Each structure stands twice: as C-alpha cells, then as structure tokens.
Amino acid sequence: MADMIFDLSVKGRRGVTLPKRDIEGEIHQILPEKFIRKEAAELPEVSELDVMRHYIRLSHRNHFIEKGLYPLGSCTMKYNPKINEALVRHSCFNNIHPYQAIETLQGTLEILYELQRDLSEISGMAQVSLQPVAGAQGEFAGLKIIAAYHKGKGYTNKKKIILPDSAHGTNPASCTLAGYEVIELPSRADGRVDVEKLKEVVTDEVAGFMLTNPNTLGLFESQIREISDLIHGVDGLVYLDGANLNALMGIVQPGKIGFDILHFNLHKTFSTPHGGGGPGCGPVGVVKKLVPFLPVPLVDQTDGEFFLDYSHQETSIGKVHTFYGNYAIMLRAYIYIKMLGPDGIRHITENAIINANYLMKLIAPYYHIEHQEYCMHEFVADGTLQKKGHGISTLDIAKRLLDKGFHAPTVYFPLIINEALMVEPTETESKQSIDSFATAMIEIAEETKKDPELLRNAPLTTPVKRVDDAHAVKILDIRYPINRQ
Amino acid sequence: MPYIANTDADRQQMLEAIGVKSFEDLIRAIPVELRVKGDLDLDPALSEIEITRLIHEKTCKNICTQAANSFLGAGVYDHFVPAAVDTIISRPEFFTAYTPYQAEVSQGTLQYIYEFQTMICELTGMEIANASMYDGASAIAEAILMAVRKNRLKKAILPESIHPEYVKVIRCYTEGIGIELITAPCAYGVIDPDALEGLMNETVGSVIIQTPNFWGNMEDVFALEPIVHSNGKTLLIAAVDPISLAVLNAPAEYKADIVVGEGQAMGNSMYFGGPLFGFFASKLDMARQMPGRIVGGTVDHEGKRAFALTLQAREQHIRRDKATSNICSNQALCALAATVWMSLMGREGIREIAIQSTIKAHYLADRIKALDGYSLAYPTAPFFKEFVVNTPIPAAKIIQRLLPRALYPGVDMARFGNDRQLMIAVTEKKNKKDMDALVETLVEVKNG
C-alpha cells in the first residue's frame, strides 16, 4: 500500500533547510575512519508539504476527544483545555535546560513547588514527588518506597503485596518489578474487598496492600478504615492507585482516611492529554513518615528562593527519571488546578459522578449491570444478555459503537466481570452528549435482536474494517521493508 | 465552572432521572466521617485572562536558552526542531487520543508508530523496535531486565562512562530483584578494555556500552565487542545518541544485541528535561521478551492492510505479574515528534545535523584547548558533539561570572565530582560567532 512515508521518498528531495556551515571541516578528517557508518540510514527524502499531508492524512484515521465521547473506563478521557497547550509552549518553558543555573529557573521551580503543594492538599498527603512519568512508574516508585520504609525498620521478611482481583494489570506487574510476590484477593459478591478474607491473608510477611478506590467497578471501598487498620497492624502500608481520583477530589483526601501512598495520573484526573499513549505524568504522594524515601530531588524554598532539594538523598529510593520527570505535563496540570480552584475541583467530582449515574440509569434496562447500586465516576455494564440471547459479544458491541461516532468503553476489564463494558463519561460531557451515547447503546441493544450480523461485521464506517489482531501476531510485520538506494 | 457544560437545571433533571434528590444521595457509600470538612486549601479560581497573566509572571523569572548562548548538553540537547513538527503534534487527532486499543479508529497512531519502529530499526540496524520507553535511562534498565529474561544471568556490567543520572535510575530499577551491577573502570575517558576483560565471565548477563559516552567520547566498540561476546552468553547493550547514528556505525555493525537510547534530541524541545523518550530495539529473537508496545501490520476483515498492537501477550494488561514490564503509558507523542522530525530531516538532513554538530564541536574544542590554563580532559579520545574541558578556576565561578551575559558555558562537572571541569555540547544551532564569544569570555574570566 503506497501510503507509507517511505513510499513518498524521492532521491534528493529535502524537507528542511539548514544554515550554511561557517566552519570548514570534513568528517573523515575529524573522526577515525572505523567509526564512520558505511551505509546510510535510509530515512525518507520528502518535502515539508509531503510530510504535512502524510501526517494530516494519518490524523484523520484517529478518534479523539474533540471528535466524540471517549468513555474509556479508568482512563478519564476528559476534555484537554486548549489554554494549557498555548501557555506551555512559551519559550521560557520549552527552551530551558535541566542543568541551567538555579537563578535562571526560578519561575519553573516556583511552579513545581506550588504544584507539589496543591497535589499534597488535594490528596491529603504530606509531600508529593512529581518525578514519575506515568501511572505505572508512580506505582513502581510507591512500591520502592514501601521497600525502603521496611528496610529502614530492619524487616527482612516483608515480601508480599496484597491486591484485589479487580486491580489494574499494572499493579501486579509493578509488584514484580519491585521484587514483591503478589497475593490476589477475590472480591466480595458486592464487588468490594472481602475484609474477612483479607484477615486470613494478612501476615507479618505482608508489606502492603494496593487498592484502587473507587475500585474498578466504580464502587467506593467503604471499609477502607478496617482495611488500613488490618494492614497497619502488621506495619504494612496502604497504597492507593489514583487512576480513579476523579471521583474523590474535594470529597475525600486519601491521605487522611488510611492511605499512606498514592500516585496521581495527571493525564487522567488533571486534564493533560494522553498523546496517543503518552507522555503522562504519575506523581507519587506520601504521608509524613515516608517523605524521606521520596525520589530526589524535591523542590523547596528558603525566603522565596527556590532550589532543587537533594537533602534526603541518603534515605531516598533514588531516581526513576533522568532529570525531574515530565515537566511539560506538570505545567498543564498546574494551569488546570489554578483555573479550577477549590470549588471547581469539587464540581469536577460531583459532575463526574452525576454523569456516570445518569448514563447508567439510561442504559440499565438494556444491559446487565452486576452491581446495582449508585456508582462513583464510572460503572461496569456487560454484554452477557446479548451474548446469551444472540451470540453477540462485548467486542461486537464495542465495534458497533465506533460506527456511531463514539469510542468504545474499556472492554473485558475488570476481569471479574464477564463481557465487561467499563464506562466513564467524565464531567466534561453534557447531558445532551450523554443522552446521545445512551441512545447509541440502546440502538445497539435493539440491533442485537433484529440484525446480529450487522454487529458481527461492525465497524462498517471506520477507515478500516474489523482488524485481525491474531494475524498481526502470526506474520509479525513490525517494520517496513525500505528500498535500498 | 470551567469545562463543565451541565447547568444547574441539567443537573437537577439528571438527578431526578436517576431517582435521587441530591448529589449527596449518590455518595452514600462514602462514610460521612471520611469526607472532607469544608473547602480544600487551594488558591481561588482564575479565568483564562488571569492565568495567562500569572504564567507570564512566572516565565519572566526564567532565562531560556533562546535568550542565551548555551552550551548545555549532558543528555538533553538543543537541536533544531522545524515548526512543522509542532504543527503535527498539536493536532488534537494525535494528542487527545488514547492508547490505540480500538485499532479501527486508531490507524493514524498505529501507522506512525510502525513508521517510527521502522526508522529506529533503520538507524540502529536492528530488526525490531518498540513504540517507546520513558527515557534513555529506563530504556537501559529495561534492556538489562530483558537480557536477564533471555539468558537468566543476573549480573550486569556498567562502565563508569555511563551518564551518572542513568546509573541512579538503573540502580532503582534493578535493586531489590537480585540483579548485581558491577562498575567497569575507565581510562583516558573511555572503557578500559583490559579491566573489562578482567571482569568478564560466564555469569555476566549483559554489558552496557554508552557511545558517545557520558563525556561525549566514542568507545572503541570494535575492540570491546569481542570481549563482551567471548563466552557466547553475555549480551551487548548499546546506548546511543540517535543523531550520531547518521554518521557513526549502526550498532548492528559492532554486533550489539540490544540498542537503546535517549531520543529527545530528535524533534522534542528540552522542557527542563521532560518529557524525554527512550527508544528500544533488538534482534528479532528477543521479540517476545521485549517490554512495551509494539505495532504490527495486519489486515482487516476485507483483506485491506491495517495496523494493530501486536505481541500483547507480553504486556501487563494480559500477563499481569508475569508481564515483561509494568509499562503502560509510554511517550507516544514524543515518538511522533521524532518520526516527523526524521521525515523532515530525511536521509541527508540528519547527516548534515550530525556533521555540523561534530565539526563545530571540534572547532570549539581546538580553540579552547589552545587557551592558557584550559585543556581537554580526554585529549586522546575521539568525541562526537560534546567534550570535557579542564578549567583553571572552578567551573561554578565561570558559570556565575557569565550569567549576567546570558552565556551558559556548559555543565558544571562538580555535580559529578570534579569542580574544575566543564562539559560543553555543540549542536548545529551554534555558529562561529557564538563559539568565539565563549572562547573570548573564557579568557577574560581566567584573567579575572
């Protein structure tokens, strides 16, 4: 198919003009011959307009927030304000180097200092490190903090982390990376942590408990106090996966209800763009006794002079990023928080919860919902009625939604719900847009009965028809065969 | 309220439809004693006009490299980014999209990642590349972990010539899971081959060679490779500057097994060191051991070419605690910037960038080493675009003295243990006048 950037290549065509060299020299005279590449890397030779047309054409093949509702559960696909984009592109933000003299960075450090403080307040934690660049890296940093805390107290037997079976996949994967064994705890019939079963697995070997709250079913874990008491009873620490923080802001401060550590996803809760998969930002916040273990450096000040603080270097877990993390993402979150203020933050949460409950109510007559109670910012419906009655899977439902101009919800997760459809509309959607999404879901429920073939063949209107994932694994075509010149 | 469309009337209607009287009824599951009393202690809300003013005040307290004559590098470089790059990555179609899980409405993202993987393979000479890692440092750490998965040998050799900040990250990633890191000494600014040979044995899982190394010097990879591969088990992990690969050997030429590196220099602004992005490539036999996302070509149900995420059975959302990595979000938009940048530069442009950087860096080094009191720290080592200079007075003093002139002469090596050294990076953006200005001021400050 002739629509790879490489297919547009014409020998001698150029996409940039560089300044004429004002220093004479010849690479072969400067560098030893053995280090010089023999065969050129065949990057495409295209004009600037070729490049623009090619990538704009590709852009048209994407779904994105401005095109339509993007109800991916646990992903918080809220609107990404454009003022954030405009302001972060200021030259005094994007043209600063991490090793500049501190005197030339005061504006930047002041912002980071305030962001540490604002995130601490929102989460009820004592301090926040902005360094982790993604949620999973925040989890990893948090688990390393748990390990450092126990090491400092002389424990050698704390090898296990408990997490519920509804946990995000990153939780167990991060545990492995941090050197922990995972104990998976089956959820109670109502979808919450089974405190009685938890009592059975809590031993001296338990280092901590990782919990998403509200959990991935969209339900608040009401017994968090009992859970944290149990874990604290063996000097374990309680970790909050902050993926669902959009349901708590202004209503609950996790650091004040029993959680010791949490990570934020600035690219979920704080409106920074997902970028097609990143860059995100996953700051980690902790209670007072864990501050000495946070990554270095933090940002601090003395009499209004801001500086990078390495003073806890000896106790710190060290670093998870070459420099200070995804600064450009932090800036967007800073702007967002400043524009919301305390009332705005609470309104975000209230509207996220109202929107989710309203949507659940609208589609409940047509889709099975295992946990019939008010949800927080998201809920889990499923396709079991459609599967049993008509052999239509959740995948078919998801693909048909694409035809109707919507992105699909998160599908087949959490794993404890068969044919799961995990829906998170977010607060930035209006009642009207939720109505139209519900209408599409209801139409699909009707189509399931009348024309199941239509669903099995969906999507029909997208840039490509249903994609064969298994074939991609079978043929493993992971790079384009470039023509050598 | 900003970014909320629902009016009070909408909300009332919705609450009625749900069947509750008030919002409070929806959060009954949250015990009252757990709830926040009163308001959060945050600054009052600002309008767009006010935040713009506030941000302007903050920016005035920074002095950016555009307003200065900067020779700072050490892992983050001020290379040329054509305006077209930002135009593409500013398209909401790309930047507000999620990870391409629904392939049919993500072909744009999937295809550019496939193109990115192809370009990384082309530069490195490797057979497979992933969709990006967080940064060069975590890419090396993940490469060490992949080597362990491949050969089960939990020992890695890290030479002293690796970026000290990378080493901190690598330690954080590998401590606690029983991986032993051994430091290989350097001599004259490069790895000492005899010392490396002395450390090698059949229990070593991988050796990491950063080239150009932290000090900008080129490691003698052709001499080192046979030492690394002598036992047939140890894997060679090359950490490289991707722009250098336009003129320097593709790591495949010296038989690297895994190739990683920091990609920021290709199309991404410096942003105080973040976001960065790591690239990660290897031979095909390690495809199923790779961390991160990989995009593959496939077909749709009508047989039309399409793209999809592939080999997902390695990843955390499927394999959970047995996954090859915990990475989920990566640095996709940075990889897009790099893809657009590599397209704009093309086969010849990237060579020109690399050549200009090298020639200019050597011009500057030649002039500085001729100055009384200054010398090259590693005069025998060949270097690419960055070099270390011994200074007659502490580098911190030089930096302070040049601040009023907005001249950033390089990285103060005091932070890495030597207070009388400056590390100086040169890119194609520097011209003769910029460099001569640095030379003149170095003379002045030395003479007081």
- Give the CA-trace dihedral at A274, A276, A277, A280, to 10 degrees: -30
DSSP state of B219: P
DSSP state of B329: S
pTM, 2 dp: 0.98
B349-366: pLDDT as tens digits: 999 999 999 999 999 999
B383-420: pLDDT as tens digits: 999 999 999 999 999 999 999 999 999 999 999 999 99
DSSP assignment string, A223-256: THHHHHHHHHHTT-EEEEEGGGGGGTTTT--GGG
The total number of residues shown for chain B amounts to: 448
Distance CA B358, CA A22 (A): 13
Kindly report the nearest CA distance between residue B161 and chain A, in angstroms: 15
Distance CA B341, CA B354 (A): 14
Nearest CA in chain A to B223: A34
Q: How many CB atoms lie within 10 A of CB B285?
A: 11
Q: Which two tokens stand for residue A32?
A: 């030893």
Q: Considering CB atoms only, which of B91, B321, B349 is closest to A176?
A: B321
B221: left (phi over 0), alpha (psi -120 to 50) or beta: alpha
Average pLDDT, chain B: 97
Considering only CB atoms, which chain B residues are within 8 Å of A110?
58, 61
Kindly report the nearest CA distance between residue B422 and chain A, in angstroms: 12
Distance CA B77, CA B265 (A): 5
Kindly report the nearest CA distance between residue B418 and chain A, in angstroms: 16
Considering only CB atoms, which chain A residues are within 8 Å of B298?
467-469, 471-472, 475, 477
- CB contact under 8 Å between A351 and B119, yes or no, is no
Residue range B216-227: average pLDDT?
A: 98
How many A×B Cβ pairs under 8 Å? 679
Kindly report the nearest CA distance between residue A122 and chain B, in angstroms: 7
Give the percent of chain B with pLDDT over 90.
97
- CB contact under 8 Å between B109 and A478, yes or no, is no
B76-121: pLDDT as tens digits: 999 999 999 999 999 999 999 999 999 999 999 999 999 999 999 9
DSSP state of A298: E
Q: Considering CB atoms only, which of B36, B90, B296 is closest to A253?
A: B36
ipTM: 0.97
Tally the C-alpha atoms within 13 A of residue A234's C-alpha that lie toward its C-beta.
24
- CB contact under 8 Å between A43 and B173, yes or no, is no
- Residue A279 confidence (pLDDT): 98
A160: left (phi over 0), alpha (psi -120 to 50) or beta: beta
Residue range B122-133: average pLDDT?
A: 97
- Residue A77 confidence (pLDDT): 97
Question: Cis (ω within 30 of 0) for the bond into B212?
Answer: yes
- Residue A414 confidence (pLDDT): 93
- CB contact under 8 Å between A133 and B355, yes or no, is no
Q: Considering CB atoms only, which of B70, B92, B218 is closest to A65?
A: B92
Q: Considering CB atoms only, which of A279, A428, A467 is closest to B331?
A: A279
- Residue A1 confidence (pLDDT): 45
CB A97 within 8 A of CB B272: yes
- Residue A54 confidence (pLDDT): 98
Nearest CA in chain A to B333: A275
What are the strands, taking DSSP E only, across A303-343?
305-309
Considering only CB atoms, which chain B residues are within 8 Å of A75?
98
- Residue A483 confidence (pLDDT): 77
- CB contact under 8 Å between A178 and B318, yes or no, is no
Q: pLDDT of chain A along its 485 residues, tens only? A: 448 999 999 999 999 999 999 999 999 999 999 999 999 999 999 999 999 999 999 999 999 999 999 999 999 999 999 999 999 999 999 999 999 999 999 999 999 999 999 999 999 999 999 999 999 999 999 999 999 999 999 999 999 999 999 999 999 999 999 999 999 999 999 999 999 999 999 999 999 999 999 999 999 999 999 999 999 999 999 999 999 999 999 999 999 999 999 999 999 999 999 999 999 999 999 999 999 999 999 999 999 999 999 999 999 999 999 999 999 999 999 999 999 999 999 999 999 999 999 999 999 999 999 998 999 999 999 999 999 999 999 999 999 999 999 999 999 999 999 999 999 999 999 999 999 999 999 999 999 999 999 999 999 999 999 999 999 999 999 999 987 75
Considering only CB atoms, which chain B residues are within 8 Å of A306?
none
Backbone φ and ψ of A481, nearest 5°: -75, 100
Considering only CB atoms, which chain B residues are within 8 Å of A35?
218, 248-249, 382
- Residue B2 confidence (pLDDT): 86
Distance CA B148, CA B141 (A): 11
Q: Which two tokens stand for residue A14?
A: 């150029």
Q: Which helix (H) or strand (E) holds A402?
A: helix A394-403
- CB contact under 8 Å between B61 and A278, yes or no, is no
Considering only CB atoms, which chain A residues are within 8 Å of B74?
99
- CB contact under 8 Å between B347 and A321, yes or no, is no
Q: Considering CB atoms only, which of B51, B97, B270 is closest to A338?
A: B51
Q: Which two tokens stand for residue B224?
A: 């080192």
- CB contact under 8 Å between A477 and B296, yes or no, is yes
Considering only CB atoms, which chain A residues are within 8 Å of B165?
319, 322-323
Q: Which two tokens stand for residue B377?
A: 């720290």
Residue with tokens 């967080």: B134
- CB contact under 8 Å between A110 and B302, yes or no, is no
Q: Which two tokens stand for residue A309?
A: 């603080």
* Residue A160: strand pairing partners: A181, A206
Mutation target vs A (from B78, B271, B295, B299; most A CBs, 10 A cutoff): B271
Q: Which two tokens stand for residue B382?
A: 């060949």
- Residue A109 confidence (pLDDT): 98
- Residue A485 confidence (pLDDT): 57
Q: Which helix (H) or strand (E) holds A118?
A: helix A106-123
Nearest CA in chain B to A156: B176
- Listed in sequence order, the residues at least 6 apart from B347 whose beta carbon sits closer than 8 Å to its beta carbon are A40, A41, A42, A43, A44, A45
Of A334, A440, A109, A243, the C-alpha closest to B61 is A109
Q: Which two tokens stand for residue A231?
A: 């874990």
What are the strands, taking DSSP E only, across B248-404?
258-262, 278-282, 295-299, 305-309, 375-376, 386-390
- CB contact under 8 Å between B408 and A100, yes or no, is yes
